[in-house]
Structure 1
Amino acid sequence: MNALYLTIPIALIISFGAFYIFLLNLRSGQYEDIEGPKYRMLFEEENKKQSD
């Protein structure tokens, strides 16, 4: 029972910290375009070959 007095607050602190980091990333726009980078990678290769 004494272990619960320590582990529950630690678990709450860690979970609120993870949620806060998630909110910061959400506000910065990190999750706006999930599909774009994998296609952008392909188009950048084509653009570099055409410019040479």
Structure 2
Amino acid sequence: MDVLVILIPVSLFLGAVGLAGFFWLLKRGQFDDPEGDANRILSGDYDDKPKS
């Protein structure tokens, strides 16, 4: 039972870090264009050559 005194605050801290990271990415616009990648994979334009 003594281990719960350590595990509960650690899990709450890690959850808060993950939630803060999600909101930070949301604020930076990481998830603004979810359909762009879905449509890009269906296009016939392929970029097989490396950029020079």
TM-score range for the pair, normalised by the shorter chain length: 0.7 to 0.9
Deviation track 1:17-37 (CA, whole Å, cap 9, x = no partner) reads 100110111001111111111
Alignment of 1:1-52 (within 5 A): 1-41=1-41, 42=43, 45=45
Tell me how many residue pairs correspond in the alignment: 46
- Hey, which of these two has a bigger chunk of helix by percent? 1
- Mind listing any 5+ residue stretches in structure 1 that lack a counterpart? none
TM-score normalized with structure 1 length: 0.72
- After the TM superposition, list the runs of 4 or more consecutive aligned residues in structure 1 that deviate by more than 6 angstroms: none
- Partners of 1:37 and 1:28 lie apart in 2 by 18
- When normalised by structure 2's length, the TM-score is 0.72
Q: Identify unmatched segments of 5+ residues in structure 2.
A: 48-52
Structure exhibiting the larger radius of gyration computed from Cα positions: 1
C-alpha displacement at 1:40, in angstroms?
2.6
State the superposition RMSD in angstroms: 1.9
Identity of aligned residues (%): 28
